[in-house]
A and B are shown apart, each in its own frame.
Chain A
């Protein structure tokens, strides 16, 4: 398999087939919490792409060059990654505030909120321990694979969030039966959207 198609498959696998929201059901709190308006959904998606790429790169470096050589990675990865992600987001926030006030304002409240978003930790974990959620063999991503994989996860997150927001905005003006108005209808919609993603399972043997 050529290098390019390997990366393409990695990306599609992370973004669509193993979509973090609709196939693996991680970070559902933000999925329901901020899908009320397109404006916030786009802001959150952009911030997640940004933070996830930064966080996964850093955690990959720490994993490969600190935790694995010391032999403590197996039980220390979660506290270490949480520490790294929290510090990193703080750092990025300070940096943006100084050098890019426009970006800082547009990301607004989402940047600090992402500190505790489980999708970021899930992507970092997956990068360190590929196939963790499938309990597969020990294998280490290269830095290139890690970046492509993380990009796939975050783009998949944004795509699912924006699609769901669009549906919810339409539903707000649709004649929904009174008994299903509000949250019940959102859950049904999310379930149907998830079913659509399940249709992709098994493509390319992913």
Chain B
């Protein structure tokens, strides 16, 4: 008995020692010389391997930046300060980071009609594999909060309607929530310019009548916003109001005229927009442009 225990320990220990020795020799013998520039770029990056940029590790990003396949601004989480250091190291002068934030194009939540009762794993990615998701609307937010759990900055919270509310102050625009969301590819969550003043809370493209049967909060493609917009910045394309942020002046006309309260003010990045989420023209502090215009007339 004791002998076989000793034999087993000896056999496994010797295997372990041999493997360790082999790996130690291999690590020395097969050592690959790394470009010192890659190493200095890698040390300038945050090194958290957060994956926000879509690459497997910070070191892989450093290699790609030095090789020229990624720009100096590749690190999403690092933002402007990291981009400047990296650009200095590789001698590039284009380090202007376009700040973005993540927004949700859905106002459904508890107002969205369920297609079936679901009692399984509480995960958007899980349930979206079951008959196309639990909602009648195939583009709306499922509301199990995969984005919230994925957010490394704690910028997302679920509100009373069962919708994720993104804090524009905390959001760094890393885009992890967009990738994590099973409907991120059809822009339920989308990265918008940091200064975006308004957001359309719907991303459906099916027929408005069918859409309205599945959700009372959706864009009904009535084109009121398109007609009233003084800057020609909002258009109904493929049966959905889409804002052109190049032209949008943030006057709030579309927010005032939307009969569905489907367009929200994003205020600014210095004030948390959570209080205005889903309220449209009823948001506290929002002055209806149309109402004041008619008074002055």
Contacts and interface: CB of A to CB of B under 8 A. Distances in A.
Interface of A: 62, 66-67, 70-72, 75-76, 79-80, 83-84, 87, 90-91, 94-95, 97-99, 109, 178-184
A180 B23 CA distance: 48
Interface of B: 4, 7-8, 10-12, 15-16, 19-20, 22-23, 26-27, 29-32, 56, 128-132
Given A84-B15, A178-B131, A181-B131, A94 B7 contact: no
B interface: dominant SS: helix
A72 B19 contact: no
Given A80-B12, A97-B30, A98-B31, 12 more contacts: A62-B15, A76-B8, A80-B15, A83-B12, A83-B19, A84-B19, A90-B23, A91-B22, A99-B30, A181-B129, A182-B130, A182-B132
A66 B129 CA distance: 49
Contacts of B128: 182
Contact of A98 (B11, B22, B30): B30
A interface: dominant SS: helix
A1 B131 CA distance: 54
Contacts of B27: 94
Contacts of A62: 15
Contacts of B30: 94-95, 97-99
Nearest to A79: B12
Given A83-B19, A91-B23, A97-B30, A71 B7 contact: yes
B26 A83 contact: no
A54 B32 CA distance: 23
Contacts of B4: 71-72
Contact of B32 (A72, A90, A98, A109): A98
Given A94-B26, A94-B30, A80 B11 contact: yes
Given A87-B22, A97-B32, A98-B32, A72 B15 contact: no
A148 to B, nearest CB: 26
21 contacts: A66-B15, A67-B11, A70-B7, A70-B8, A70-B10, A71-B4, A71-B7, A84-B19, A90-B23, A94-B23, A94-B26, A95-B26, A95-B30, A97-B30, A98-B30, A98-B31, A178-B132, A180-B131, A181-B132, A182-B129, A183-B129
A109 B56 contact: yes
A70 B11 contact: yes
B183 to A, nearest CB: 13
A72 B26 contact: no
